[in-house]
Amino acid sequence: MRRLRPAVLALVAVSTVTRVNADSVLNVLVENDVFTGSDRHYTSGVMLNYVSGINEGPKRLKKLGIRFPGIDDDDRMHVSVSLGHEIYTPTNIIATELLEDDRPYAGHVYLAAGFTTENADEVETWRLSLGLVGPGARAKVIQNNLHREIGSDEANGWDHQLDNEPVLSVAYEKKWLRLARSKTFNNKLEVDLLPHASGALGTPLTYIGAGGMVRIGRGLDHDYGPPRVRPSLPVSQFYERMSGVSWYLFAGIDVRYVAHNLFLQGNNFNSSHSVEKEDFVGDLQAGFVWNNDKFRLAYSYIYRTREFTHQDERDVFGSLSISAHF
């Protein structure tokens, strides 16, 4: 069986975008610690994401001679393209000197392409991401201009940010569907459990992880959980049209073994400020999702365990997304 190389995979995904049906989804996602009243560490993440409607991607891949493990002819396929930006800072953004025991300043801009295949039992997503870390990401300008507009303190330590460096990564996620679903309260309320496994290999992040999410509400069949910027993959960005309104509350956990984190360990090819990472990082999240036949609104509150050795406090931040079919 021939295996598809990640670069070829991304090119096939991008080329498929122009041949999808009209039931596509556009997502705008914002993650920021301002939602929780803090301003440190992973302080901002924004992403514009396009997800195609269902097409015959698996059949096209096989016509090209590609035999990718886990993809069947009958699977439904969605193609995704994303443009994103992230900002990382230490806790004390007022200081001008290098804070050796706190994480480095860093900006990250990236373009990602990938696809998701789904059937009645599982959902799988592959994504290739190419980006830039360093002053070229313009994080200093973006953050300080925004802080001036809202009357917050400017960050004064950007002279110590990571150097310019291109970054490349391949990521994978798998979700198992309908492991446990029941209807209660006169068959009007649904409950399900969505376990998942994920991993990434690349110069910015290398990790493996696993977790799960419990949801309770109505219309759970129309998506696979709330969208997220990082380390989420495009699988959660698509949702099906439905008549009427659906909603649910959710709570979930994700635990990752982190083998490499450039945003903590510093530049891969140049000497730069760095801190000692924690090997295991966990996210707890809770929130709600609401959607109708056109729009979806989702909010997540995320609690993240310490990511580096001298980190004084665990991080909390919010994730807000607005999605629309077109």
Nearest CA to 241 among 177, 298, 292?
Answer: 292
Give this prediction's pTM: 0.87
Residue 122, in any domain of the structure: yes
pLDDT digits (tens, 9 = 90+) for 57-114: 666 665 555 566 667 777 888 888 999 999 999 999 999 999 999 999 999 999 999 8
Whether pLDDT at 4 is above 60: no
Kindly provide the b/e burial profile for residues 216-234, where b requires at least 16 CB atoms within 10 angstroms of the residue's own CB: ebebbebbbbbbbbebbbb
Nearby residues of 84 by Cβ (< 8 Å), 6 or more positions away: 45, 46, 47, 48, 108, 109, 110, 112, 229
Nearest CA to 24 among 51, 64, 61?
Answer: 51
According to the model, what pLDDT value does residue 72 have? Answer: 73
Residue 21 tokens read as: 């049906």
Report the CATH number that the domain containing residue 199 is assigned in CATH.
Answer: 2.40.128.140
Residue 165 tokens read as: 């460096």
Q: Work out the number of other CB atoms within 10 angstroms of the CB of residue 326.
A: 10
According to the model, what pLDDT value does residue 180 have? Answer: 65
How much is the mean pLDDT over the chain?
85
Residue 164, in any domain of the structure: yes
Q: How many domains does the chain have?
A: 1
**Omega before 231 cis (within 30°)?**
yes
Residue 199, in any domain of the structure: yes
Whether pLDDT at 282 is above 60: yes
Residue 34's SS3 state is helix
Calpha distance 240→25 (Å, rounded): 9
**Strands 122-133 and 180-184: what pairing?**
unpaired
Calpha distance 246→260 (Å, rounded): 39
Residue 1, in any domain of the structure: no
Whether pLDDT at 279 is above 60: yes
Can you give the residue range of the structural domain that contains 318?
6-325
Rounded (5°) CA angle 152-158-164: 135
pLDDT digits (tens, 9 = 90+) for 216-270: 998 888 888 888 886 655 456 778 877 788 899 999 999 999 999 999 999 999 9
